[in-house]
Amino acid sequence: MTDVKTRILLVDDDKFLLDMYSMKFVQHGFEVQACLSVKHALDSLRKGFAPDVVLFDLIMPEMDGFQFLESMRAERLADKALKIALTNQSTDAEQHKVLELGGDRVLVKATLIPSEVVNTVETAIKARTSA
């Protein structure tokens, strides 16, 4: 086993949730870059942060998660990262749009406690690396 930590980019405009998820992922051995806005997240990616996972909210001021996915794809940022929407928007149309824009999956905040989110992300990483 190596000492290389899995890198995750967390993007949510809710500081309480961002801090809580950051803490949970750090406790599980992740290196966390937490961003309160899409603009901050894009700046971080443009400056070279190369996450293994991008976990982002869909509903945020200024730019939403859909625009974030579009920007990442257009600029070829975090190309190899798992892109997971963590949101309370759970309509089929919104989930389909996430996948259409290059997202890998959608997790609904209201149905998962933070440790379940971490476990789901870890499972997705393992599934991808063994594929």
Domains in the chain: boundaries: 7-130
Q: List the beta bridge partners of residue 97.
A: none
Beta strands in 81-130 (DSSP E): 82-87, 105-108
Name the pLDDT band for 3 (thresholds 50, 70, 90). Answer: low
Buried/exposed 76-94: b ≥16 CB within 10 Å, e otherwise? ebbeebbbbbbbebeeeeb
pLDDT digits (tens, 9 = 90+) for 61-116: 999 999 999 999 999 999 999 999 999 877 899 999 999 999 999 999 889 999 99
pLDDT digits (tens, 9 = 90+) for 13-62: 999 999 999 999 999 999 999 999 999 999 999 999 999 999 999 999 99
The verdict on domain 7-130 having CATH code 2.40.10.10 is: no
pTM over 0.85: yes
